[in-house]
């Protein structure tokens, strides 16, 4: 079974600065997908970024980028130029494949606060 570990329960960052959220996972699969989801106070789950394990290039989406280290089974999220709207809970998630019986496995989440 796959596991996803987010060991930091909370982090805080000054507005306009950069912050990195950590995530590790455990799997015996060679091909899989990794995700970061954002959950603001509205409770809505929003996909931030996705990484395919077979791609060596790290995914980027505007101010959000990942550091994917396959051998170390590490998948961290870097948020550049932090904004007040980035205040949210962030979940790291794993999916074995895109097939029918593949599901998202989530970490416990980290609460990020952006200070003005």
> Which one of the spans 11-19, 54-62, 68-76, 107-115 is the region binding other proteins (CB under 8 A)?
107-115
CB 99 within 8 A of CB 50: no
19 interacts with other proteins by CB under 8 A: no
> In the complex with other proteins, which residue's Cβ is closer, 13 or 91?
91
The residue within the footprint of other proteins, chosen from 16, 83, 98, 115 (CB under 8 A), is 98
What residues contact residue 41 under an 8 Å CB cut-off, 6+ apart? 87, 88
Residue position matching structure tokens 């609460």: 111
Q: What six digits make up the tokens of 12?
A: 């805080």
50 interacts with other proteins by CB under 8 A: yes
């Amino acid at each position: 079974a796959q596991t996803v570990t987010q060991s930091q329960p909370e982090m805080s960052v000054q507005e306009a600065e950069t912050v990195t959220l950590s995530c590790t996972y455990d799997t015996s699969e060679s091909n899989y997908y990794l995700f970061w989801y954002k959950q603001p106070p509205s409770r809505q789950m929003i996909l931030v970024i996705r990484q395919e394990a077979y791609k060596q290039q790290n995914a980027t989406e505007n101010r959000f980028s990942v550091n994917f280290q396959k051998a170390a089974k590490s998948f961290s999220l870097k948020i550049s130029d932090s904004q007040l709207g980035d205040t949210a809970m962030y979940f790291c998630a794993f999916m074995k494949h895109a097939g029918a019986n593949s599901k998202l496995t989530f970490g416990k989440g980290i609460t990020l606060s952006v200070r003005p």
